[in-house]
Chain A
């Protein structure tokens, strides 16, 4: 089974500073990787995905992610953090569960706090 790991439960960053939320993956074959964000008492919102192509993927709200095959990582980044970016971030991988069947397997999540 495919899996992702988010090594940090919490990341704190000052407003205006660059932010990085880490994700590593373990897959067989080519990975399909995703980042989602969850604000308090809300569902998850899609940020970006990597299927194939450029290693730098741009997504919503100024976020981007860098796919690194040699390090099996897919870190989420933003050049300048906003207080409104404070939320729970999930990395996910498409996981094959049977013939023609797939699901998304999520990491445990990383709580990002942007300090004014």
Chain B
């Protein structure tokens, strides 16, 4: 069974640009969560999607957005990039909404560098 796939794995952008990251969950998983990982802040929750609906949103500005498609694939978008957005963005999937399992299956992440 294929794991969680994130693309691209690495990317470099400049301030002011926007970026779109993609996540394909494990087949059959309907919940997709996104986390930002930085050395200073650790792992911070961005949002969770379940059946194409955003169920949770973390404390991030509106420049961070996401969506989920009918096949459970998810994308996140960051507009007007800032230097502080440089991070590893991790996607995680689970079979159902978080209350049912709590266990997440993570992809290898997309490492974004903003210059």
Interface residues of A (CB under 8 A from B): 32, 34, 36, 41-46, 49, 51, 90, 94, 97-98, 100-109
Contacts and interface: CB of A to CB of B under 8 A. Distances in A.
A46 B4 CA distance: 13
Interface residues of B, number: 24
B106 interface: yes
B106 A103 contact: no
B107 A107 contact: no
B102 A104 contact: yes
A107 B44 CA distance: 10
Contacts of B97: 100, 102
Contacts of A97: 56
B45 A51 contact: no
Contacts of A108: 42
B98 A34 contact: no
Given A43-B4, A103-B45, A94 B102 contact: yes
Nearest to B105: A46
Interface of B: 4, 6, 33, 35, 42-43, 45, 48, 55-56, 58, 90, 92, 97-99, 102-109
B106 A45 contact: yes
A24 to B, nearest CB: 16
Contact of A109 (B4, B42, B56): B42
Given A102-B99, A106-B43, 16 more contacts: A36-B106, A42-B108, A42-B109, A43-B90, A43-B106, A43-B107, A43-B108, A44-B92, A94-B98, A101-B55, A102-B56, A103-B45, A105-B45, A106-B42, A107-B42, A109-B42
A34 B99 contact: no
